[in-house]
Structure 1
Amino acid sequence: MTRNMEGDTTSAARIVVIEDDAPTRAAFCAAITRDPQLALAGAAGDHDEALPLIVAGEYDVLLVDINLGTRKSFDLIELSRANHEARIMVISVLGDEDSVISAIEAGADGYILKDGAFADLGQPIAQVLAGEAPISPGVARHLLRRFQPSTMAGSDAESVALSRRERQVLTEFARGASYKEVARKFDISLHTVGDYVKTLYRKLQVNSRGAAVNKALKAGMIEL
């Protein structure tokens, strides 16, 4: 059970929205309020307003934009990742490689471009809560192009031993597959997929699926 902004007990997932554009922030908050599976736990329009919400940590998902006025949100993402178990999803108009990579390296679990984001926030939030990594196709293309194995040194690969199946699972994630799609492809349970993910996180010393994919591609551990 969780607690919403009014203090009422609810089983809905608690969401904090960090967005500097007031109309966009209002639209996100309205979409969350309409969804019975979600509860708005807080909202902020700039870095200073966001900081106490993140320090308090009373949320299950942090929904955050990259640009917060004159500042970026990467340090807020890092702060949340370091101190809370909450999932972190970026929703931004910025889809350039530097923004995407910086957000994922800071600890973001998903990265959604704002095109179409207002229609159904419930689906990507449900995905990120389930341990998946919702990523817009345009963002995925940036990741794959940035981390082509042929352009990266493979020295890190020698220090991390991944099993054949671990490499297969990670490759499917790099191609954008969901947990369910991976389970179906290899005829294994969702629980088993989750076990593989935990092992990959431990071996690669990361804490998100996106970071695992990035590190593996960069080091040449997997090929697409």
Structure 2
Amino acid sequence: MIKVLVADDHKIIREGLCNMLDAEPDLKVVGAASNGREALALARKLSPDVVIMDISMPELNGIEATRQIRAEAPQAAVIALSMYADKRYVLGMLKAGVAGYLIKDCAFEELARAVVVVHRGETYLSPAIADTVRKVLVTRIDQDPLTRVEELTERERQVLQMIAEGIKTKDIAESLHISVKTVETYRSSIMQKLGLFSVAELTKFAVREGITPP
């Protein structure tokens, strides 16, 4: 029996996926998360075999959640299930360590098949992103002058996402259990590393890099 964790911030999609996956004879949904931080906590607690991960989620996006899950629960294979076929999102998830990437308009049968494939230790990429993946392989990340997100620490990427989502400094501090001054220090560090000098520029950068949805 393959244990599956589903992470998606849209309740109707999350519940629908759980119901359909549970109906498969060889699959069992062990948990469902509404954001990346919850997905990470459940991956630690439940030790799933496969995690189905949305990319655009509040607090901790799918890329960062995947990166941390792969570091802390390496037995879990992650499948990105997203509405985005854009290079930034595909590249971000591939670098984070996903074993599969599917577009949300795929048939459920394809998703169920992908779960079995990645559980075997193989890779499953939707035909819909084949051309994007080819371009990603041709253009190496370290040759892309637009990509500077790698310079940020894990916490800085999380703070950047929350800033770009319009969350107030005080609320960021409360959510991350740190002081307002620490949030401001992170923001200054992010701006210095990226060479950006306003919240508007940070937001534009976060959208372009796939850290937060447009």
Does the TM-score normalized on the shorter chain lie above 0.5?
A: yes
- Structure 2-normalised TM-score? 0.61
Matched, 1:23 2:12: yes
Matched, 1:53 2:49: no
Counterpart residue type for residue 105 of structure 2: D
Instruction: Describe the superposition over 1:118-170 as per-residue Cα deviations: whole angstroms up to 9, x where unpaired.
Output: 345321111111122111122121011232279997xxxxxxxxxxxxxxxxx
- Structure 1: 5+ residue stretches without partners: 1-11, 154-224
Q: Percent identity?
A: 27
- Distance change in 2, residues 1:48/1:78 (3 Å): closer
SS of aligned partner of 2:105? coil
Q: Does 1:130 align with 2:147?
A: no
Q: TM-score, normalised by structure 1?
A: 0.58
What secondary structure does 1:121 align onto?
Answer: helix
Q: 2:94, 2:14 → 1: CA distance?
A: 22
1:94 corresponds to 2:84: yes
* Structure 1 partner of 2:129: 139
- Partner Cα distance (1:75, 1:151) in 2: 17
Tell me the amino acid that sits aligned with residue 67 of structure 1.
S
Distance in structure 2 (CA, Å) of the matches to 1:151 and 1:79: 20
Deviation per residue, 1:42-80 (Å, 9 max, x gap): 001113322310222521001100011364211211111
Give how far 1:29 is off. Answer: 0.3
Shift of 1:25: 0.8
Say which SS state the counterpart of residue 108 (structure 2) adopts: coil
CA contact (8 A) 1:32 1:121 kept: no
Determine the C-alpha separation between the residues in 2 that align with 1:51 and 1:80.
6
Write the distance in 1 (CA, Å) between the matches of 2:20 and 2:77: 18
Instruction: Write the mapping of 1:1-224 to structure 2, written as runs, cut at 5 A.
Output: 12-69=1-58, 71-84=60-73, 85-148=75-138
Cα distance change of structure 1 residues 150 and 59 upon mapping to structure 2, 3 Å threshold: closer
Give distance in 2, aligned partners of 1:54 and 1:107: 15
Change (3 A) 1:120 1:35: farther
- What is the DSSP-based 3-state SS (H/G/I as helix, E as strand, rest coil) of the residue aligned with 1:69? coil
Distance 1:66 1:152 in 2: 22
Moved over 4 A (4+): 149-153
Give the residue type in structure 2 aligned to 1:98.
R
Distance change in 2, residues 1:122/1:70 (3 Å) = same
RMSD, aligned CA: 2.2
CA 1:19 to 1:117, structure 2 compared with 1: closer, same or farther past 3 Å? farther
Relative to total residues, which structure has the larger helix share, 1 or 2? 2
Q: 1:71 to 1:152 in 2, by over 3 A?
A: closer
Stretches of structure 2 that go unaligned for 5 or more consecutive residues are 144-214
Q: Distance in 2 between matches of 1:87 and 1:131?
A: 8
Aligned counterparts of 2:140 and 2:18: Cα–Cα separation in 1: 43
Counterpart AA for 1:73: G
- After superposing the two structures, state which structure 1 stretch, 27-36 or 137-146, moved more: 137-146
